[in-house]
Structure 1
């Protein structure tokens, strides 16, 4: 079930906007004159699709583990594997299903995993 958060609205002049609510929903904007080439990227600060790198499972697992260990309190946590999310076409198409805690507290690791999902999910897709 998708988490609920407040919708975001477009503040760029000359655009009609539809705000989506969900984990990785980006703002969809449509110019009033119908010229779609006027929009280069979402105004919400998201990464354009052309800028997202494709990674295989081993590369993405290594990146996720390094990013998690860089989080405060997660120095001993380990990511065994990342797995693909079924039927995802836009946004993050992978998740970290399990983490080996080591000496890290579960609250630190939980916060760290959410942060890694958010940070790396904007940059990398699993292929």
Structure 2
């Protein structure tokens, strides 16, 4: 049965493709299931957004990285995120954190260390 209110599959595919072109997500290495965004691009976009809001800051900028587990039904995900606690007044709320990557698996230091290994460019900045 066809219904005009339901979207057609080719339109869904076009919309997903357009959305994927706007946001760059990369896969984590093979033994791990998840994805991440390049840290440099995400950091620059976040700082530009703060500038457009009228928040001024000077160099150096304090960046807080955090990895936290989030249960979702029977699976557990680890979210890698960052915030600017010294310049962003919303840094402690959900709107002030910026997600870098998601990893499916148990919460452990080894999972964060080896699963998010491609995100190590943050140490070079």
TM-score per shorter chain, which class? 0.3 to 0.5
**Structure with the largest fraction of strand:** 2
TM-score under structure 1 normalisation?
0.36
Relative contact order (C-alpha < 8 Å, sep 6+): which is higher? 2
TM-score under structure 2 normalisation?
0.36
